[in-house]
């Protein structure tokens, strides 16, 4: 009996899936041992920071499981040599605190804090002074705008002998003071031939205050000028008396200085 030939197609030849013998085997895992460490210079690459993260972790794990490896590779001698190099180069060891710069030291910090506090106090003092000054200026502006006139509490009659030769800066009398007064000034010009006078009032070293025209002298030869002392600011005022002739021309006759106090 003749054998029947096998007519089944070959799976590989027919393009089917390969058999288990045809599948390539995977690469065996890397085993970290002394030979592998020496052959691949793991120690030098680890110390130089050139190992990948997985390789560094595997090497650290191996050293943890085989601590005698640290003695074999002479790690202590290598560390001592590195420390000697740091010392020769003037560098501090990793565990030593680096020297602080001047602005990082405590005295410098305290000095800066004290300077800041002094500056803040100075600023507050100046701010307070500016506030007080602004308040004073505002008050004075208000008083100046209102121009208050205090009621006279008394009347003071004063006879003044004016100078006939030239103006004088010495006050003949001072009116006012603690309270407002109605000052009745009587300038003795009995010696003058004029009966009508022009009286000019100037604040010494400042400016003109008033001009009174056609002021007649009385039967006793006095020119009367009356005013409330609070109407004039404190200071010295010069009174100039000029006689008026029939044409109205003024001729200087006498001068007197009167002080006003508040």
Q: What is the mean pLDDT of each run of 10 residues along the chain (262 residues)?
A: 48 46 54 77 78 82 78 72 72 65 76 90 91 86 68 84 87 82 89 92 89 90 88 88 91 91 82
pLDDT at 3: 45
pLDDT at 90: 65
pLDDT at 144: 62
pTM for this entry: 0.46
pLDDT at 19: 47
Instruction: Give yes or no for a contact between 217 and 209, defined as CB atoms under 8 angstroms apart.
Output: no
pLDDT at 125: 92
What domains can be seen in the chain, in order of their start residue? 29-88 (no CATH), 154-261 (2.60.40)
Q: What is the DSSP string of 171-193?
A: EEEEEESSS-EEEEEEEE-TT-S
| CA distance linking residue 152 with residue 181, whole number of Å | 5
| CA distance linking residue 174 with residue 181, whole number of Å | 11
pLDDT at 188: 92
pLDDT at 2: 46
Which element (helix H / strand E) includes 126? helix 106-146
| CA distance linking residue 182 with residue 158, whole number of Å | 11
- Residue 85's SS3 state is helix
Instruction: Give yes or no for a contact between 242 and 195, defined as CB atoms under 8 angstroms apart.
Output: no
Among all chains, which residue has been given the structure tokens 């085993």?
31
258 DSSP β-pair partners: 173, 237
Q: How many CA atoms lie within 13 A of 192 on its CB side?
A: 29
| CA distance linking residue 239 with residue 259, whole number of Å | 11
């Amino acid at each position: 009996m003749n054998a029947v030939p096998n007519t089944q197609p070959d799976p590989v030849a027919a393009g089917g899936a390969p058999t288990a013998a045809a599948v390539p085997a995977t690469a065996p895992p890397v085993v970290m041992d002394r030979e592998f460490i020496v052959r691949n210079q793991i120690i030098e690459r680890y110390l130089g920071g050139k190992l990948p993260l997985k390789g560094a972790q595997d090497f650290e794990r191996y050293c943890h499981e085989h601590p005698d490896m640290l003695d074999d590779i002479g790690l202590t001698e290598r560390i001592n040599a590195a420390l000697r190099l740091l010392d020769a180069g003037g560098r501090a060891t990793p565990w030593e605190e680096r020297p602080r710069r001047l602005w990082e030291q405590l005295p410098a910090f305290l000095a800066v804090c004290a300077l800041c506090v002094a500056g803040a106090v100075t600023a507050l003092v100046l701010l307070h002074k500016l506030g007080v000054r602004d308040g004073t200026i505002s008050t004075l502006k208000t008083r100046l705008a209102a121009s208050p006139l205090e009621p006279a509490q008394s009347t003071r009659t004063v006879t003044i002998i004016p100078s006939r030769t030239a103006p004088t800066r010495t006050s003949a009398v001072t009116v006012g003071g603690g309270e407002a007064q109605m000052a009745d000034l009587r300038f003795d010009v009995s010696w003058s031939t004029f009966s009508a006078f022009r009286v000019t009032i100037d604040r010494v070293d400042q400016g003109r205050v008033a001009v009174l025209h056609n002021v007649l002298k009385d039967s006793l030869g006095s020119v009367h000028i009356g005013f409330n002392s609070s109407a004039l600011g404190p200071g010295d005022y010069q009174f100039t008396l000029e006689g008026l002739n029939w044409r109205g021309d003024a001729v200087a006759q006498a001068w007197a200085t009167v002080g006003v106090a508040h």
